[in-house]
Amino acid sequence: MRAYLNGNEAVATAVRLARAEVVAAYPITPQSTIVEKIAEYIADGSMAADYIRVESEHAALAACYGAAVTGTRVFTATSSQGLAYMFEMLHYVSGCRVPLVMAVTNRGLAAPWTIWADHQDAIACRDTGWIQLYVETAQEALDTCLQAYKIAAHPEVLTPVMVCLDGYVLSHTEEIVDVPDQEAVDVFLPPYRPEYAVDPARPIVFGIGAGPELYPAFKHYQHQAMLRAREIIEDVDREFAALFGRSYGGLVDPYYCDGAEVVLVLMGATAGTAREVVDDLRRRGEQVGLLRLRSFRPFPVAALRSVLAGTKVVAVLDRDCSFGYEGVLATEIKAALQGANVPGTPEVAGFTGGLGGSDIRPEDLAGIFRRCLEAVRRRDRGESPAVSGGCSENGKAEGINLWLS
Amino acid sequence: MLKEDELKKGPNLYTPFLGTTTGSWRLLRPVLDRARCNNCLACWLFCPEGCFEREERAVTLNLDFCKGCGICVAECPRQALALVEEGSDDARLLER
């Protein structure tokens, strides 16, 4: 069935189709309409779930954690300050290997106070042990939530998943979404039956205390599970494609990267704009491509290396900033390519932009490509190839809304 | 030590899992005067760590998880329990 849905409605629809049994969340813009829609589904009887009202995001995730360890399929959603408030519980959930699914409607962090999109909230939770999948469209938000339940609960993964969607740009923007049939989703996602759960007849302690002789072993296997998730994410995407006819590339989503001299790497909805810019530049004969990173954690090092190895300049656009260094994704791409240890490793030029909902316009992305192509020409002439600063076509926003990091 | 397949599923274990004891964190140790104990079980009821065992005539203590909080001493209606400082002369005398 085709429906006209925004990103948040698409997420709520996925949660209904996944037959989530417990939902606990605290309202926060721009996430609120996800759980408001779920509350409507529960109220009108189209979803059989318990909705737990809580006093904070910390309590919301704690309630979901408690519900999940009884063997129920659970959902929550948050954003920005709410995600920051969950920080402690994020580690409990991932450390106890509870396969929760949470939508994060990405929004910048205060101060200054903002409600608009960037990735700083989720990026700041990079090392919480959660899988982070960033989506480009409302359709992908729906499909990825369904995939996320399968990935998280895979017996070799047992790791919670954040489905990250850009605030407003996706959360509040309608598009035509193909809503899968319940019967098909039931085939893809059978009822959640964990190997073990809280059972008064056989008491179990979740999150034991572990001394130095035991703690590292749990962390070692948690890390191994996250690395294993790279294959599972790809497998699940393939399985989803076979059933529903849609695939997102699993870990990475390359667009015209074969033979490209310059590839732009980014996450989230900006990819939609970037595809148009790539199309336009390709029509003018420029060898440019786009690599949308879908899985930020686990970080798909091998997939990135294989796509980016033959390029001359890799531009990275971060909607986040590690203050005092650079955009986080830029650092990670550099590290991934450095480790490849192949001759002719491309130059990586990191740009930070789109913070706090500032627009990333086609001309901004065209400006990034232009700077990088100029660097390629210099490199071809045997000159220093370094990408120079400033990237706005009209110069208006140069250095303020978008900068070379 | 736990097996690999247990470690892989996370730090969630069937009770009783008592692999990590916390008694060494204790600075004060409860000691029982068995002659004064009338087995009322107030200590057994109030101890937050379950350190008291019920026996026929008087309780006994297992201090593997006792942090020396002193709740048992405060609750004992017959002053049968007292706290001594770990490593003190009093504690050493009791160990003889």
Pairs of residues, one from chain A and one from chain B, whose beta carbons lie less than 8 Å apart = 59
Instruction: Let me know if residue B3 belongs to a domain.
Output: no
Instruction: Let me know if residue B90 belongs to a domain.
Output: no
**Average pLDDT of the segment spanning A348-372:** 94
Q: A205 touching B, CB under 8 A? A: yes
Q: What is the pLDDT of residues A136-178, one digit of tens each?
A: 999 999 999 999 999 999 999 999 999 999 999 999 999 999 9
Q: Which domain, by its residues, includes A319?
A: 252-404
Q: A207 touching B, CB under 8 A? A: yes
Q: Closest-CA residue in chain A for B5?
A: A221
Contact B7 A204 (CB under 8 A): no
Q: CA of A63 to nearest chain B CA: how many angstroms apart?
A: 17
Instruction: Let me know if residue B4 belongs to a domain.
Output: no
**Average pLDDT of the segment spanning A44-59:** 97
DSSP secondary structure of A120-189:
HHHHTTGGGS-EEEE-SSHHHHHHHHHHHHHHHH-TTT---EEEEEETTTTTT--EEEEPPPHHHHHHHS
pLDDT tier for residue A391 given thresholds of 50, 70 and 90: very low
> pTM of the full predicted structure?
0.92
What CATH code is carried by the domain that includes residue B51?
3.30.70.20
B17 chain-A contacts, CB cut-off 8 A: 205, 208
Phi-psi category of residue A228: left, alpha or beta, with phi > 0 → left and psi -120 to 50 → alpha: alpha
Q: CA of B31 to nearest chain A CA: how many angstroms apart?
A: 26
Give this complex's ipTM: 0.80
Look at residue A398 and tell me whether its pLDDT is greater than 70: no
Q: Are residues A177 and A296 in the same domain?
A: no
Q: How far apart are CA A392 and CA A403, in angstroms?
A: 9
Interstrand relation of B12-14 and A204-206 (parallel, antiparallel or unpaired)? antiparallel
Indicate the number of domains in chain B.
1
**Average pLDDT of the segment spanning B21-50:** 94
pLDDT tier for residue A388 given thresholds of 50, 70 and 90: low
In the 8-state DSSP scheme, what is residue A357?
A: G
Q: How far apart are CA A197 and CA A158, in angstroms?
A: 13
Q: Are residues A218 and A264 in the same domain?
A: no
Helices within B1-96 (DSSP H only): 4-7, 42-46, 71-75, 89-95
pLDDT at B87: 87
Interstrand relation of A295-297 and A262-266 (parallel, antiparallel or unpaired)? unpaired
| Token pair recorded at residue B4 | 């690999």
Q: Which domain, by its residues, includes B30?
A: 21-85
Asked whether the CA dihedral A184, A185, A191, A197 is positive or negative, the reply is positive
Q: Are residues A68 and A214 in the same domain?
A: yes
Q: How far apart are CA A203 and CA A182, in angstroms?
A: 35
Indicate the number of domains in chain A.
2
Contact A96 B12 (CB under 8 A): yes
Shortest CB distance from B10 goes to which of A209, A218, A224? A218
Cβ atoms of residues A171 and A7 within 8 Å: yes
Residue of A93, A96, A98, A218 to mutate when probing chain B, most B C-beta within 10 A: A218
Q: Radius of gyration over alpha carbons of chain A, in Å?
A: 21
What CATH code is carried by the domain that includes residue A53?
3.40.50.970
Q: Are residues A295 and A339 in the same domain?
A: yes
Q: Are residues A194 and A307 in the same domain?
A: no
A221 chain-B contacts, CB cut-off 8 A: 4, 7-8
Q: CA of B38 to nearest chain A CA: how many angstroms apart?
A: 32
Q: What is the pLDDT of residues A107-120, one digit of tens each?
A: 999 999 999 999 99
pLDDT at A337: 92
Q: Are residues A300 and A361 in the same domain?
A: yes
Using a 10 angstrom Cβ sphere, with 0-12 exposed, 13-18 middle and 19 or more buried, the burial of residue A231 is: middle
Of the candidates A89, A40, A42, A34, the one whose C-alpha atom is nearest the C-alpha of residue A67 is A89
Q: B25 touching A, CB under 8 A? A: no
Instruction: Let me know if residue B7 belongs to a domain.
Output: no
Residue of A93, A221, A224, A226 to mutate when probing chain B, most B C-beta within 10 A: A221
* Cis bond before residue A155 (omega within 30° of 0): no
